[in-house]
Structure 1
Amino acid sequence: MRVRAERVAVTGAHGPLVVATSLEVGPGQLAVVAGEPNDGHTAFGLALTGRLVPSAGTVEPDASWLRAHSVLVDAPGVSEPEPALRVADVVAEELALAGRRDRRADVAGVLARHGLEADTRFEAVAPAARTALLAGLAAERPGVELLVLDTPDRHSSDHHTWWETALALARGGLAVVVLCGAGTARELPHPSARLGSSDQPAPLDTAPPLETTP
């Protein structure tokens, strides 16, 4: 299923949060959407995942489908874990959202896979490990087809801390959107979309090219 945002705008109590922005992304594609600090990254992510009704413009499919099949990952003030929580508690909560029982063996397996210690405070987790953990667990939720990673570059200016994770998720068949800063976007190996624009470059298609017979 392809997700299409057509000139989506969001207005808050004190004025515009997101200026008209268009975007289209489908299975196996990675779209990066860049903007300046006050361009409304999280508001656009909420609209794109069906959790906020745009003030103008449309998002397809409808909001009920998007809420059931998408996750807004690590959004500041919305879905980011409390910094003082133990990593084990964050994992247990994410596994519960994925419909898996909070069993010690499940939690231990995830921690071992990511090389993390159970009692580490979540704020002490390295940026690359944080994004890989949260995005990977979000991808395990039943029915998820769209992941929106909210400003992973706020944890590190090095795009390598999240780029490979986003690529891997798209290569696994998900539609992936990463919201980031304009400065970060300039370092990426693929053109990014922009908040406040309706004329966007095509997302990165991660599917390998078909081989042709000579």
Structure 2
Amino acid sequence: MKIVLDRVAKGAHNAALPPATVSFQTGEVTLARAETEQRPSVLGLIASGRMRPDAGTVTIDGATDYSAMRKRIALIDAPDVCEPAADVTVAGIVAEELMFAGRASNPLAVNRRLGELGASEWARFAIGNVPPTVRIKLLAELALMRKGVDGLVITSPDRHGGDPNEWWELARGLAARDIAVLVVAGDASAAAIAASTMITRLGETAANRTFDEDPGRDDTDELPDLIVAPALEQRADRAATADRADRADTPERADSAKRAEEAE
């Protein structure tokens, strides 16, 4: 499944959502940036087929089919749209989602499902008081119980605080299960995730570089300063040693050595 939003916009003078182009597909997680209080939810609604844009196009596998999008894509935790009330208990939310999925929703079934999700300890907590990553995992996993759902749009997870890299890793894990995942978040979270990703890639590149591909090439310009600097110091030491050796062969040095021998 591939969803493509091409220059979609919403509202008078595009106030609700300025033109945005986003795509996400099965087996991948995509991060879309949206600022202000309203825009993340508007983008989430459009990306899940629950709102039509005033401009631009929305397609699923190359066709315009909002009904198919609504059946296959779950909208997760969108502010003022489908976020659970902050005072509802985790157990209550699980019972409700089990009922929507057509499954048994009695206390025994609720406890079993919480155990499967590793969230039993949070059963009696209000959803507004659980850690951000626990909240997102719980809501995403419950949505995936619904028949035919193979796509998720997670909206504004950064508003709950915490480290954005934690819920980003969670989203990556969901995508690895052949789920199409779109996360809508703010610029600060996008920057933090980009920085972490870059550091990881640099570490992987350094770890994989185990031999010199071209021994005859001078690689000093490609190395960090902390590595180049000692190399340059070693070159300077070698040059000074050679200079002292050259001076030892001069006539003055030879005469001095001869006088030393005669004195002995």
> Normalising TM by the smaller chain, what interval?
0.7 to 0.9
Cα distance per residue 1:170-193 (max 9 Å; x no partner):
00001000010101100114899x
- Kindly name which structure, 1 or 2, has the bigger radius of gyration based on alpha carbons: 2
Aligned partners of 1:85 and 1:125: how far apart in 2? 11
* Other-structure match for 1:69: 72
How big is the alpha-carbon RMSD for the aligned residues of Structure 1 and Structure 2? 2.0
Aligned partners of 2:30 and 2:181: how far apart in 1? 6
- Relative to structure 1, the CA distance from residue 38 to residue 117 in structure 2 (aligned partners, 3 Å threshold; closer, same or farther) is closer
- On the 8 A contact 1:131/1:161 being kept in 2, the answer is no
Q: What's the CA shift for 1:145? A: 1.8
Q: In structure 2, what residue type is equivalent to 1:129?
A: V
Q: Relative contact order (C-alpha < 8 Å, sep 6+): which is higher? A: 1
Per the normalisation by structure 1, the TM-score is 0.83
Q: Which runs of 5+ in 2 are unaligned?
A: 198-264
- The answer to whether structure 1 residue 43 and structure 2 residue 46 are counterparts is no
Identify, as 1 or 2, the structure richer in helix. 2
SS of residue matched to 1:116: helix
Q: In structure 2, what residue type is equivalent to 1:74?
A: D
- On the 8 A contact 1:8/1:56 being kept in 2, the answer is yes
Q: What's the CA shift for 1:98? A: 2.0
Aligned partners of 1:4 and 1:153: how far apart in 2? 24
* Other-structure match for 2:144: 139
- On the 8 A contact 1:19/1:39 being kept in 2, the answer is no
Aligned partners of 1:78 and 1:106: how far apart in 2? 27
Aligned partners of 2:109 and 2:127: how far apart in 1? 18
- On the 8 A contact 2:11/2:54 being kept in 1, the answer is yes
- The answer to whether structure 1 residue 174 and structure 2 residue 179 are counterparts is yes
- On the 8 A contact 1:146/1:175 being kept in 2, the answer is yes
- On the 8 A contact 1:18/1:44 being kept in 2, the answer is yes
Q: Which runs of 4+ in 1 moved over 3 A?
A: 189-192
* Other-structure match for 1:156: 161
* Other-structure match for 1:129: 134
- The answer to whether structure 1 residue 9 and structure 2 residue 12 are counterparts is no
- Relative to structure 1, the CA distance from residue 65 to residue 44 in structure 2 (aligned partners, 3 Å threshold; closer, same or farther) is same
* Other-structure match for 2:113: 110
Aligned partners of 1:120 and 1:33: how far apart in 2? 31
- On the 8 A contact 2:132/2:162 being kept in 1, the answer is no
Aligned partners of 1:141 and 1:69: how far apart in 2? 9
Q: After superposing the two structures, state which structure 1 stretch, 86-95 or 155-164, moved more.
A: 155-164
Q: After superposing the two structures, state which structure 1 stretch, 70-79 or 112-121, moved more.
A: 112-121
Cα distance per residue 1:120-144 (max 9 Å; x no partner):
1121111111011011111221111
Aligned partners of 1:3 and 1:27: how far apart in 2? 9
- Relative to structure 1, the CA distance from residue 78 to residue 170 in structure 2 (aligned partners, 3 Å threshold; closer, same or farther) is same
Per the normalisation by structure 2, the TM-score is 0.68
